[in-house]
Amino acid sequence: DPLTDEEIEAALADLEGWTREADAIRRTFGCADFRAAIAFVNAVADAAEAADHHPDIELRRYKRVTLTLTTHAAKAITRRDVELAAEIDRLAARIGAA
């Protein structure tokens, strides 16, 4: 089910760096170098596969990774997006992406 605007605002308050863009949430992470960015992308890919929920991933300027989450079937932001964003934040903290 799509989250309400209030639920999205509350979720974003707990997700540092994530912003709402229409029917998606987005965050850009900085990595130490290209290899660290690829390691981060691979860790996100593993988490996404485990959740069966896949973000749009952009690798920009060799060490910046932008992730966009939306639930395509609902054409909206859902709890699945928020949960994966939180998992991505945990991965970023462990790997050193900021």
Task: For the chain, 98 residues long, give each residue's pLDDT as a single digit of tens.
Answer: 999 999 999 999 999 999 999 999 999 999 999 999 999 999 999 999 999 999 999 999 999 999 999 999 999 999 999 999 999 999 999 999 99
* Total residues found in the chain within this entry: 98
Angstrom CA distances, 23 to 55, 59, 72, 97, stand at 13, 21, 9, 25
Bridge partners, residue 57, by sequence = 67
Q: Which two tokens stand for residue 22?
A: 């229409």
Quote the Cα angle for 41-50-94, to 5°.
Answer: 45
Query: In this structure, are residues 81 and 47 in contact, taking their beta carbons and an 8 Å threshold?
Result: no
